[in-house]
A and B are shown apart, each in its own frame.
Chain A
């Protein structure tokens, strides 16, 4: 596996379910990101982790709970979601542990979430 891998690619869940999205990067990067992309809207930054420490939380509701157990893995735990949370959830990584310099993002293919 190379690059940034996201699983599952598609997820359908009810409002009372608990599910998780998984992201794994094989690039040796030190920072990982969650973005949300709703229909016809720009990508919205949700969370950033650097060296497993959360460094950005962009006013995301508590029904989204991120977890970064190591620098290669990032999870987004989902519970009691709303239909408006249906979106494409994108994971990205970047090499630098600190955001200095160019720090290019590499994205995964995304997880398409539908909340019924």
Chain B
């Protein structure tokens, strides 16, 4: 079973920041948080990952709470092409098992 909980769906206005929450209250010290997204019927696309610190790349920012029990993916200026299902995954270093949950269906509105 997935170790994360995400809201099933969210809407965001085009040009605004999209903030996608993820709860991972049972996370262990050696477990990474990953975010992927899947645009309809395509393969999932890697977005960002983190262990303890906040991270930023050209696609998004990842904010991890100090207790590591939750995180937020931020798409700073959402576009229509960001409409997708976003998956938050927790994986322990030392295992190949990336367990996907049901994700959050983000719809960016014009």
Q: Is this pair of chains taken from one and the same complex?
A: yes
Please list the residues of chain A having a beta carbon within 8 angstroms of any beta carbon in chain B.
Answer: 4, 6, 31, 33, 35, 42-43, 45, 48, 50, 55-56, 88, 90, 92, 98-110, 112
How many inter-chain contacts with C-beta < 8 Å in the A-B complex? 56
B41–A112 CB distance below 8 A: yes
List, in ascending order, chain B residues with CB within 8 A of A43's CB. Answer: 44, 100
> Interface residue tally of chain B, by bracket?
20 to 34
From A45, A50, A101, A109, contact of B98 by CB (8 A): A45
Contact sample, A vs B, 25 pairs, CB 8 Å cutoff: A4-B43, A6-B43, A33-B96, A42-B103, A43-B44, A50-B96, A56-B97, A90-B44, A98-B94, A99-B95, A100-B93, A100-B94, A102-B49, A102-B51, A104-B34, A104-B49, A105-B46, A106-B46, A107-B43, A107-B45, A108-B43, A109-B42, A109-B43, A110-B43, A112-B41
Bound together, the chains give a CA A56 to CA B99 distance in angstroms of: 13
New contact pairs (8) apart from A45-B96, A45-B98, A107-B45, CB-CB < 8 Å: A4-B43, A31-B96, A42-B101, A42-B103, A43-B44, A90-B44, A101-B93, A102-B32
Bound together, the chains give a CA A50 to CA B97 distance in angstroms of: 13
Bound together, the chains give a CA A12 to CA B96 distance in angstroms of: 30
